[in-house]
Chains A and B, each alone.
Chain A
Amino acid sequence: MLEIKDLHVSVAGGTEIIKGLNLSIPAGEVHAIMGPNGSGKSTLSYVLAGHEGYEVTQGSITYMGQDLLAMDASERAQSGVFLAFQYPVEIPGVQNGYFLRSIVNAQRVSQGEPELNPVEFMKKVKEVLKLVKLEPNMLKRSVNEGFSGGEKKRNEVLQMALLAPKLCVLDETDSGLDIDALRIVGHGVDALKGPERSFLVITHYQRLLDHVVPDKVHVLQGGRIIHSGDKNLALELEERGYEWLIEGQS
């Protein structure tokens, strides 16, 4: 599904943040990336989504056999890459329902399918609303504007469910959530798991991984993956922190 080889990334025209990262995620697997602040986790998620603020100076990213770096942000999204933002952007004046239908239709058009009319769309969205426990009135509000932290993250999972991506990148989707919201989000993500769908879950905490159980856990430090393990590694990190791994490196 995703093959990252010797990836080097700098802030456009500046500091190198990712310094030789290798990662391979087969279809159907859930991989978690943990690591201290500033280790390059969010940068990795932005690079995967196609943010132009970062410059790939070396290495390759292959997604479904294609060169991901040759595609722009919208092409990546249309071909099934989805980034659940750590800080979902508020867009005053763009109605959420309209926005959701637009992105669904943009994807359908790119795949040669007819657009959904509002009624067809509503049928589709109604089920998904239940999944993330959001009320239909949230479709009338502006995208993310005035949403609570939990609503924003649930809106991200809602979009993910609507677009049915192949590669889901979750950038600290658990941050800023209370226990109930975390359960809803975790349950929503878990429900989307499938043999054709891979997840890259970036998180600081073990708690999301209780709901979305990872096949592998990687530790990102200084722009490289310094350690990998199974789901028990997350538990160990929760208990011991990163120090022991970082010390082992140097």
Chain B
Amino acid sequence: MSLKDVNWGPLLTPSKPLSTNENGFISSERQELALQRLSQFNMARAEAWRYTSLKRIVQLKLMSDAQQTEPNWQLSFNEEAIKASSASMLLNSKLRIISLSELAKQNRDQLAEQAFVWIEQQFAQDETMHDLHSLHYRDGLVVIVEAGQDAGELCINMKREKSQVSAQSAIANTLQIDSRNIWFYLAEDAALKVIESFETEQGLQNHTQLSLTSMYLSKNSKLDYVRSQEQSRGNEQTSLHLGRVAATVYAEANLSLTSLNLGSDLCRLELDISLEESQARADLSGLYLGSSDVLLDQHLTLKHKAPSCRSSQSFKGALGAKSRGVFTGRVIVSQGAFDTVAEQNNPNLLLSESAKAVTRPQLEIYNDDVECSHGATVGQLDEDALFYLRARGLDEAAALRALTSAFVGEIRETLPKQNLKRALDSSLKQSLGLELELNEAEEWIDWELISANI
């Protein structure tokens, strides 16, 4: 089958046909294979994509490659901005940031070679999102942390501004597609904090974010990863986010992941975490906020492959208007994975009668020595708590605000940056009409300190 023979949706028309071949990374063969697989969409994929219609996605018209522009990339390392020109390769004693094309070309030392082989393996997977990425491949970013180093904090923001696509936005139903792939490779005993964010300017429509984030945590390494996604919404499902976060966690390594899903017309987020060796640990949490008629589809797969691994998942949905939230939480505990502890929690708060939450815990356990718990709820605010607040003189609206704020507050507290908290606050206000009760100023109150000074 050649590329020309396939009459599939426009999303499956490679946006840079074969040109990426030049950097020696995504080959034409890989693109053809992706096409083949995507056109032979099988049942397993159909089940995984039950709530997000791939068919719908592939029918959307994309801008021709010539019209595509690059979004703004902002990188900062330990609070210091990294200039775009130096982003292709930044080296210090602790970490390197290098473009995937550079990595493919250069003479690689042992660590770089390991990272490169891993990335190649990832792209070789029979996996829908990798296939989509192969077709819409843009140069990736590789972050390597040296063994034994605590590299600090890296912020990666991708922002799409209206002016960047103003000429093209007039073309109805034509999607700007921003594709990015990022690879974190942590050597043994390494540590890194990452904040990855996606934003679009208000009012931007016809926009797709296609994102791939992959992590390799070598023995006893530690990665704190926060992901924040927000897109300006259009009228007819024209802002799409298709994201995948995959992590492979080796012995005694520790992954902490927080996901904020603050809005798109359609958001599909896949999390695929694999605990490969004993005593690996993953703590995953997330919040998704739904408004108008958006669909937020979280699809999580967590594999316990080795003994004595720990995992926790806490994903919360707050859904207003006619929005729909889906959480599929699949936990697979393999035969040899004794002494497994896996917790899963998915409370959903429905803030309107038309909002809908689907929660699908799926536990597949193939041995006895396992402690798995899962809890999923779909409901309104706690009536007793509402009455308690009202019986203290808060009016109903204030009581509702306080409780909704409390529902999202738990995850808000864990956010490492003020700007993330602000993004969440403004999203709450816009999406759900909620002024968060705990505003920024309130957080500054240190009751004990005030108390001591009076």
Contact = CB atoms under 8 A, between A and B. Distances in A.
A103 B384 CA distance: 17
Interface string B385-410: 10111111111101100110111011
8 contacts: A52-B387, A73-B390, A91-B388, A91-B402, A93-B409, A94-B405, A126-B451, A139-B447
Interface stretch (B83-91, B231-239, B423-431, B437-445): B437-445
B66 interface: no
B170 interface: no
B394 A74 contact: yes
B392 A77 contact: yes
Nearest to B407: A93
Contacts of A107: 393
Contacts of B47: none
Contacts of A49: 387, 391
A110 B393 contact: yes
Secondary structure call for the A interface:
helix
B393 A163 contact: yes
B454 A103 contact: no
Contact of B405 (A93, A97, A110, A139): A93
Contacts of A36: none
Given A77-B393, A122-B447, A136-B448, A85 B454 contact: no
B393 to A, nearest CB: 4
Interface string B358-394: 0000000000000000000000001011011111111
Contacts of B410: 92-93
Given A85-B391, A103-B393, A106-B398, 16 more contacts: A73-B387, A73-B391, A74-B390, A83-B391, A91-B382, A91-B406, A94-B406, A94-B437, A95-B438, A103-B392, A107-B393, A136-B448, A137-B447, A137-B448, A140-B447, A159-B392
A98 interface: yes
A93 B406 contact: yes
Contacts of B448: 136-137, 140
A137 B451 CA distance: 10
Given A98-B437, A136-B448, A89 B442 contact: no
A179 B384 CA distance: 29
B1 interface: no
B167 interface: no
Interface size class of B (residues with CB under 8 A): 20 to 34
A197 B256 CA distance: 54
Contacts of B44: none
B454 A74 contact: no
B155 to A, nearest CB: 27
Contact of B451 (A72, A90, A136, A142): A136
Contact of B450 (A94, A95, A118): A118
B393 A78 contact: yes
A76 B392 CA distance: 9
B442 A98 contact: yes
A57 interface: no
A99 interface: yes
Given A74-B395, A74-B396, A122-B447, A91 B385 contact: yes
Interface string A219-246: 0000000000000000000000000000
A103 B393 CA distance: 6
Contacts of A52: 387
B388 A89 contact: yes
A102 interface: yes
Contacts of A186: none
A88 interface: yes
A171 B406 CA distance: 27
B387 to A, nearest CB: 6
Of B391, B394, B398, B438, chain A has the most CB atoms within 10 Å of the CB of: B391
Given A95-B438, A137-B448, A88 B393 contact: no
Contact of B388 (A85, A93, A110, A122): A85
Contacts of B407: 93
A119 B450 contact: yes
A140 B446 CA distance: 8
A76 B403 CA distance: 21
A123 B451 CA distance: 8
Given A93-B407, A97-B445, A72 B388 contact: no
Given A88-B388, A89-B388, A102-B402, A122 B393 contact: no
A139 B392 CA distance: 17
Interface in A61-98: 72-74, 76-78, 83, 85, 88-95, 97-98
Contacts of B451: 122, 126, 136
Nearest to B447: A139
A94 B442 CA distance: 12
A102 B399 CA distance: 10
